[in-house]
Amino acid sequence: MELVATVVLFFSSVLWGLAWLPLKYLHEMGFDGIPLTLFLYTIMLVVILPWIWRKRSEIRPSWKILLAIGVLGGGAQLAFNTAMIYGEVIRVMVLFYLLPVWGVIGGRLFLGEAIDRVRWLGLGLAVSGAFLVVGGWKALESPPSWIDALALLSGFLFAMNNIAFRVSPKVDVSLKLAFMFGGSVLMASGVIQVMSLPTLPDVSLQAWGILFLFGAVWMMMANLGTQWAVTHMEAGRSSIIIIMELVTAVLSASILLNETMSPTEMVGGLLIVVAAFLEARRANGH
């Protein structure tokens, strides 16, 4: 079973790492960032509804944790998609991958997990890496962009959402995913209303078809594959394999978009990856 889970998680991580391709392509076809998230997660929510209907009796006893997942997961998806659409893929992904920092801090605050020497080292490496990625000392001359802020926020919210998933093992995964999708829909709708953004874009039928396939097939496979796999394998191993998401995004953006990182940014990205490996190895007991 663990071998199957490993393969599923590997391909799910590749799907996540390449998700920027259809996101940017759909944006070029006429879908704006926030409405794109609204339509995308509405499609995913509709697809998963049949499973939710069968589990509806479990909603009331778990409404608090499901509400938290809706807020945290929904906010994370909205922030990540927006940053990915408007920002540089490599930069957004590297800043998003400060997940180990937020996970360690959240684990300490909400789960009482100890921070040993290895975790302190990982925290130091990750924070130092992020500092280099946003420009090092030059970042003090001018604040990071709003895209950088969204990338950091998405990583933080995802980490908190992961903690919510961890503390609710008895709640069905499909329920948690549905509330995460629903949270994305509600938050995107709220932002559209507050900012008075146009909702329905003037796009072709082909564009709507691509959006539907992306949501119903690509993103559903990525979400379900990841959540199923991580429940059937050791946490440390899953943490290492998920780094394929970052590797895939960096390589594909370098090849297809000719995006490059400065030497300073490369060092920062390497420090963040090392921090993720340290946390993963620690989860395995090494």
Question: What mean pLDDT do residues 249-266 have?
Answer: 78
Average pLDDT over residues 96-103: 73
Q: pLDDT band at 286, cuts 50/70/90?
A: very low
Out of 63-72, 77-86, 96-105, 194-203, which region has the weakest mean confidence (pLDDT)? 96-105
Closest CA to 34 of 171, 237, 184, 182: 184
- Token digits of residue 62: 């778990």
At residue 29, the pLDDT reads 92
- Mean pLDDT taken over the chain: 82
Predicted pLDDT of residue 146 = 87
Single-letter amino acid code for the residue at 245? E
Domains held by the chain: number? 1
| Cα–Cα separations (whole angstroms), residue 35 to 22, 30, 177, 195, 251 | 15, 10, 20, 12, 28
What confidence category does residue 137 fall into, taking pLDDT thresholds of 50, 70 and 90?
low
- Residues 235-263 have a mean pLDDT of 74
pLDDT band of 6, cuts 50, 70, 90 = confident
- Among 82, 94, 71, 86, CA closest to 17: 94
- Per residue in 181-193, pLDDT (tens digit) is 999 999 999 999 9
Confidence of residue 142 (pLDDT cuts 50, 70, 90): low
pLDDT of residue 19: 93
Q: What percent of the chain has pLDDT over 70?
A: 85
Q: Look at residue 71 in the predicted model and tell me its pLDDT.
A: 95
Q: Helix crossing, 20-28 with 205-213: angle to 10°?
A: 160
Q: What share of the chain is helix, strand, coil (3-state, %, to 5)?
A: 80, 0, 20
Q: Which domain holds residue 154?
A: 2-283
Using a 10 angstrom Cβ sphere, with 0-12 exposed, 13-18 middle and 19 or more buried, the burial of residue 51 is middle
